[in-house]
Structure 1
């Protein structure tokens, strides 16, 4: 997790851009929630996206990483911004194989054994990112760390740990609500 002024700046930016909403919501996991973290609001706001990329880049500084990965669609702007901030190649992971054009599940290049760091928008159970990790590993690359902008603290950390991946939240839901 990020510390100090950077974390505070990220919390303030997420609130200021309207990413934190209260009401009755159904999450992608099917669970009901009294709050919603709309990271798409944040990732389409240039100032907030820049704060996210800067904080994520602090987390990966000094790590042995070959590529930054993001799951389509929510992870695309985040991974792109972090790729630019860190100067690392970008890999996008589709939810399923594309059966037209050049096909495939990945956009971008990586080699067997490449170390890919994934960045996610919001993690609840971690299901969608675990699916992407399985596909990346099946293709011969390594994933051992996922950065999430916001962890809802609803099981993703343990579920990722169970598949040998460390979850690194930039902020936790309890920091925002």
Structure 2
């Protein structure tokens, strides 16, 4: 692992890995939790993550798509660094007002690169890619801060979506040891 990525992994791990008694979404109890919002709410740490995301963006990216909720601050920072426009992609369309799935610029006919904080199974990315494709966007890539998916669990490649990540769970585990 390059030194700058190792240092970033170390800082993110120290900032986000917390110990206590937690119940996960699955209902499983654990003594350790990774609170991703701790790095997303720290402007300098968020900037460091975004700086590492910029070179991962595919060259044909026309619009960044920040996924609700964790992908929004990262996509906004990457947009600020690159000058690329950004849309904010909801988990489902609003039932009031504009009733849009994605807020921001028009993205129909454009290549949208999704931006996510953490990918575990890829389910949210899969749903967003499918929905945006249905609205005439081209979606073939997602860039994430941390890919913590286990082998065979992230099936995004099967639907033609490549995953590029700044860090992996292995990077964070190595930093913690």
TM, length-normalised to structure 1: 0.87
2-side partners of 1:156 and 1:109: how far apart? 35
Quick check: 1:101 aligned with 2:97? yes
1-side partners of 2:128 and 2:21: how far apart? 29
Structure 2, unaligned runs of 5 or more = none
Q: How big is the shift at 1:25? A: 4.5
Q: CA RMSD in A?
A: 2.1
Q: How big is the shift at 1:49? A: 0.2
Q: Which has the larger radius of gyration?
A: 2
Task: Trace 1:60-79 onto structure 2 (pairs within 5 A).
Answer: 60=57, 63-79=59-75
8 Å CA contact 1:66–1:88 kept in 2: the answer is yes
TM, length-normalised to structure 2: 0.87
Q: Which residue of 2 aligns with 1:11?
A: 9
Cα distance per residue 1:21-59 (max 9 Å; x no partner): 34564444x274664332111000011101011000121
Structure 1, unaligned runs of 5 or more = none
8 Å CA contact 2:37–2:70 kept in 1: the answer is yes
1-side partners of 2:73 and 2:152: how far apart? 21
Q: Which residue of 2 aligns with 1:123?
A: 119
Q: How many residues align?
A: 172
Specify the SS of the correspondent of 2:90: strand
